[in-house]
Every structure is written in C-alpha cells, then in structure tokens.
Amino acid sequence: MTTSNKCLEQIKVFEGCELTAYRCNAGVLTIGYGHTSGVKAGQQITKSDAEKLLREDISNVEKQMSKVIKSKLNQGQHDAVVSFVFNIGIGKFKTSTLLKKINANANDKSIGNEFRRWVYCNGVKLAGLVTRREWEARRYYESV
C-alpha cells in the first residue's frame, strides 16, 4: 500500500518546509519536510529538492513498516502509521505498544490512544505533537 496524497499533504503541514538546515526540537539537523539523513549544517536545498526528499523518505518508511507490521491495514490506518513512523523513527516504533496492538488486532479500538501517548520531546509536551497525534488517531479509524 502507498501513502495517500491526503497524508503527504498533512505531513507537509506538520513538518513545515525549511530550505536551510536547522536543528529540530530533538536537536537533529533537519531540512525540507523533516528530512534528517545526511544533513549538514548550513546546507540549502530547493523546494523541488524538499519534495523529492519527502517522497524518498516516505517510501523508506513504507518499506520499513512492511517488515514489522503483520496485520493488513486499510488506507487510513496505513497513513496514520506512516505519519507516526516518519516522525518518531522505525526504531522507536518497533518497540512500541502501538505496534504490538496493531499486530495483535489492527481494529482494536484502543489503538488511537497509543498515538496520543507520543506527545513529548525531551520530556516536554509539545502542542505540535498533540495536534499531530490527534490527526493520526482520527486518521487511523478512517477507511478512505
């Protein structure tokens, strides 16, 4: 399954687009729409580069998810998890209760609450993460 345009557009809103490298709240060098791999201080890119990096990053997230998610997901579930994994990384997702619940029963009604637990960065609750997790929790229960 591939990520919907609806999800891609929402990730763009959550991430914002910075064409010059910066340090995110977690202190990681970031550029474009949340791209972190190989970013160098002072690096600059074009909007077109940012779009290309986002699509490559989402494709990588989808590949990583396919290795750890055993349940069949619908489009809404897939999109919600893509946004989540894009944000926190596959390493944290692999050990999460969220993944355990998805693999046990992708339609478990408590899964939305698992998204909502991930709203802290370095011990600080961030309004942007609260908003993102609410969107992910709602999207998880949408089938289209």
Residues designated catalytic: 15, 24
Structure tokens, 77? 């579930």
Provide the CA 125 distance to its chain's centre, in angstroms: 17
What DSSP designation does 23 have? E
Local structure of 16: helix, strand or coil = coil
Using CB atoms within 10 A of its CB, is residue 137 exposed (0-12), middle (13-18) or buried (19+)? middle
The partner residues of 121 in beta bridges, in order of sequence, read 124
